[in-house]
């Protein structure tokens, strides 16, 4: 028997990082975690949910309200107060500083994708397995050290060219046959995005998923969110350049009043 007065259940002491994902506003609100994420490895998201990836210094959620005192002539102190407003916010720093995440956090324009400029393709001289770092080709004329090449859907950096061999800076993800071609890239493709003084902010639905110590999952769903106007300062320096993401959540008129901002789904054993 415990010899103190405290009632502690360590299973109910929770922590750990969160996985922050989003979907366009109007997406059907999930009724269970598997509506958002596959519950088996590799835990892929269901369409149209999108992952923001790694974060730094946690994901902070806040729920607060404002009040106004009720006063009467017959009392020198307020006799009550009324709720006059609610505030719900989420904030984090995104470690994966991608164009897609910048579009979300900074209210960017439509992303334009421009394909790479390429040279003359050369045929592989033999089959290569996934994980290979050397390619033998019919001609290495247009390939150069420090340049880039494309094979299948993969774009790889060239670390060395010697005779009929091209050495890659990183291994292939897929196997290829001698019927496949290797294409030199003369200039990498790019994604273009703009930022302007827009009047409207897109609305999104957010889900925050957390795995508890016993392996069970927790998820909170924010029905209607917009990026807030807080400063989005990024530092170009030696250290990692994190991307601030600050959002405000608002009531959704289509949901019951007692859960029209957000709701939680907490798995139990």
pLDDT band at 6 (very low <50, low <70, confident <90, very high): confident
Q: How far apart are CA 11 and CA 13, in angstroms?
A: 6
Determine contact, residues 134/176, Cβ cutoff 8 Å.
no
- Structural domain boundaries of the chain? 57-111+233-269, 116-188
Q: How far apart are CA 110 and CA 63, in angstroms?
A: 32
More confident residue, 231 or 142: 142
Percent of the chain with pLDDT over 70: 99
What pLDDT sits at residue 184? Answer: 97
Average pLDDT over the chain, rounded to an integer: 94
Please, what CATH class does the domain formed by 116-188 belong to? Answer: mainly beta
pLDDT band at 10 (very low <50, low <70, confident <90, very high): confident
What pLDDT sits at residue 121? Answer: 96
pLDDT band at 94 (very low <50, low <70, confident <90, very high): very high
Give, for 243, the enclosing helix (H) or strand (E).
strand 243-249
Report the range of poorest mean pLDDT among 60-64, 97-101, 102-106, 233-237.
233-237
If we measure between CA atoms, which residue out of 72, 91, 71 comes closest to residue 81?
71
Q: Which two tokens stand for residue 33?
A: 């975690």
Q: Tens of pLDDT along 98-142?
A: 999 999 999 999 999 999 999 999 999 999 999 999 999 999 999
Q: How far apart are CA 223 and CA 261, in angstroms?
A: 6
Give, for 222, the enclosing helix (H) or strand (E).
strand 217-227
C-alpha pair distances (Å), 5 with each of 2, 9, 103, 190: 8, 13, 53, 64
> Per-residue pLDDT averaged across 13-19, rounded?
89
């Amino acid at each position: 028997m415990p010899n103190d007065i405290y009632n502690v259940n360590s299973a109910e002491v929770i922590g750990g990082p969160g996985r922050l994902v989003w979907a366009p506003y109007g997406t059907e609100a999930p009724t269970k975690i598997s509506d958002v994420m596959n519950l088996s490895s590799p835990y892929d998201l269901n369409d149209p949910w999108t992952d923001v990836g790694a974060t730094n210094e946690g994901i902070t959620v806040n729920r607060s309200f404002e009040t106004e005192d009720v006063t009467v002539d017959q009392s020198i102190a307020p006799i009550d107060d009324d709720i006059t407003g609610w505030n719900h916010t989420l904030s984090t720093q995104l470690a994966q500083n991608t164009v897609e995440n910048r579009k979300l956090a900074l209210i960017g324009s439509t992303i334009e994708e421009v394909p790479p400029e390429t040279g003359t393709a050369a045929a592989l001289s033999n089959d290569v397995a996934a994980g290979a770092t050397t390619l033998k080709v019919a001609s290495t004329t247009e390939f150069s050290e420090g340049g880039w090449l494309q094979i299948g859907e993969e774009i790889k950096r060239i670390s060395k060219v010697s005779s009929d061999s091209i050495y890659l800076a990183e291994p292939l993800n897929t196997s290829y046959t001698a019927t496949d071609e290797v294409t030199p890239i003369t200039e990498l493709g790019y994604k273009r995005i703009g930022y302007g003084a827009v009047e409207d902010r897109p609305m999104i639905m957010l889900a925050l998923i957390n795995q508890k110590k016993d392996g069970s999952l927790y998820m909170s769903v924010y029905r209607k969110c917009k990026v807030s106007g807080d400063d989005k300062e990024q530092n170009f320096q030696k250290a990692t350049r994190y991307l601030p993401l600050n959002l405000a959540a608002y009531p959704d008129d289509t949901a019951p009043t007692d859960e029209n901002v957000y709701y939680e789904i907490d798995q139990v054993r």
